[in-house]
Structure 1
Amino acid sequence: MEEWSFFGGSILLILIGLYGILSRRNMIKILISLAIMDTGVNLLLVALGYVEAANAPILNSVVPSNSSAFVDPVPQALVLTSIVIGTAVLGLGLALVIKIYDKYSTLDIREIRGLKW
């Protein structure tokens, strides 16, 4: 029953981030919403990879090799990769926001020249 709270929490974070991306006009708030959405996706991947009472996939004398209850390490590796990529995207986005602010002196996407609404 506990894993359903992880699914619900991750879906809630994804929806909050999506709402922030679609409803905000400040570019910093949009980037924060993107980070919240990224966290929700990471939590969803971790929740999907969770196995109750499973062992780490390391074979030694304590864990027999014929045991079928192993945790799949692929979702954990995907989450680690996603964290690195999300950090890089957020850093690039902040650099672009700084350059846009230097040029237009505003963070509001409605006031930037050249954007059509």
Structure 2
Amino acid sequence: MELIVALAVGVLTAAAIYLILRLRTFPVVLGTAMLSYAVNVFLFATGRLAINQPPVLLAEGPYSDPLPQALVLTAIVIAFGMTAVVVMLALGAYLESGTDEIDMTDETKGDRT
């Protein structure tokens, strides 16, 4: 079970980094969202992967830690809201410029006197 979760986090992170390094706006937005999902899965896995166990502390026996579950739930809500804001900013930039390319050149270098 831990191997599957570790592979899922690794694949999500690799795909997210690939998308973030592209010079287009919407793949960068998707990459950051995917990276937040990878972090959420990692945080969820830190709470011990115990199947059919209660999320409370008992005197004996395995349990599932409730703190990472609460952190992941909060992170999902915040990430959804921030993704919506960034999508609206990217859509506004696309409508203003007519393209979703990210320009990495410094145009102000020659204008300084």
Q: Same fold (TM over 0.5)?
A: yes
Alpha-carbon RMSD across the aligned residues, in angstroms, is: 2.1
Which amino acid is 1:116 matched to? D
Match of 2:24 in 1: 26
Give 1:71 deviation, angstroms.
Answer: 1.4
Which amino acid is 1:37 matched to? L
TM-score by length of 1: 0.78
TM-score by length of 2: 0.80
Identity of aligned residues (%): 26
Q: Is the 8 A contact 2:50 2:63 kept in 1?
A: no
Which amino acid is 1:10 matched to? V
Q: 2 CA distance for matches of 1:17 and 1:81?
A: 21
Q: 2 CA distance for matches of 1:41 and 1:69?
A: 24
Match of 2:106 in 1: 116
Aligned partner of residue 33 in structure 1, secondary structure: helix
Give 1:68 deviation, angstroms.
Answer: 4.8
Give 1:26 deviation, angstroms.
Answer: 1.4
| Stretches of 4+ aligned residues off by more than 6 angstroms | none
Match of 1:55 in 2: 54
Structure 1's unaligned 5+ residue stretches are 59-64
Aligned partner of residue 67 in structure 1, secondary structure: coil
Q: Is the 8 A contact 1:11 1:44 kept in 2?
A: no
Match of 1:82 in 2: 75
Matched residue count: 106
- Indicate which of 33, 41, 44 corresponds to 1:43: 41
